[in-house]
Amino acid sequence: MSAFGTIGSKADEPVLAEAEPCAADLNVQNLAAAHGGVYRPSEHLNATRSRIERIDGDPDAFIRSHVRRLEALRRAGIVERIDAGRWKIPNDFAEQGADYDARNRGRDFTVRTLSFLDLDNQATSDGATWLDRELASANRTPLAQVGFGRDVSDAVDRCRQSLVDMGHATRLDDGRIRASRDLLQRLEQAEVARVG
């Protein structure tokens, strides 16, 4: 059968284990400890430039990633920016950074697999797909009519036509599609019969 996922709530999410300090935080903490609790991006750049260039990396981008991290942690009250080129770093900076990450993990968004089939394959599948479930749902997922949302809308239109072509739905005179209430069950049975 087609694989489906659901968009869940925070209650569905696993309990997170204690977070480990990230490498950038450990870098900053170690450099600051060697310089009286003050981190200077310029000193970090000088100390790491040759190693990063040896592996064809971008030393400036490496340092910018550390500064972006410091900015996020400054907004959280963990570090203090003294001026454009210096940051006051607490002794337990890496641990505080890990705690911050653990508290904020999953707040931005959660990604769940709704189908292992791409939109084109879902639109023409003889089994019950996420698109079929969306069509049958009274509470459809709201989509923007640009980008991926537009791609989904186009795939839904193709799916409707495919259901008509397979005889699972009928197109009415006004252009709407009518399908039986047991459409999803019929699609699941058709897929089981084909795969079996």
Same domain, 132 and 160: yes
Top pLDDT among 193 and 63 is at 63
How much is the pLDDT for 71?
Answer: 92
Whether the CB-CB separation of 128 and 184 falls below 8 Å is answered with yes
How many structural domains does the chain have? 2
Residue 190 lies in a domain: yes
Residue 113 lies in a domain: no
pTM reported for the whole predicted model: 0.47
Whether the CB-CB separation of 110 and 119 falls below 8 Å is answered with no
How much is the pLDDT for 18?
Answer: 58
**Taking all residues of the chain, what is their mean pLDDT, rounded to a whole number?**
84
Quickly count: other Cβ atoms within 10 Å of residue 23's Cβ: 10
pLDDT surpassing 90 at residue 15: no
Helix 41-54 with 59-75: angle, nearest 10 deg: 140
Residue 163 lies in a domain: yes
Same domain, 136 and 191: yes
Residue 134 lies in a domain: yes
Q: Which domain holds residue 186?
A: 119-195
**3-state DSSP call for residue 75?**
helix
Which of 104, 129, 149 is where one domain is finished? Answer: 104
Top pLDDT among 12 and 46 is at 46
pLDDT surpassing 90 at residue 117: no
How much is the pLDDT for 190?
Answer: 83
Residues in the chain: 196
**Average pLDDT of the segment spanning 33-40:** 95
Residue 160 lies in a domain: yes
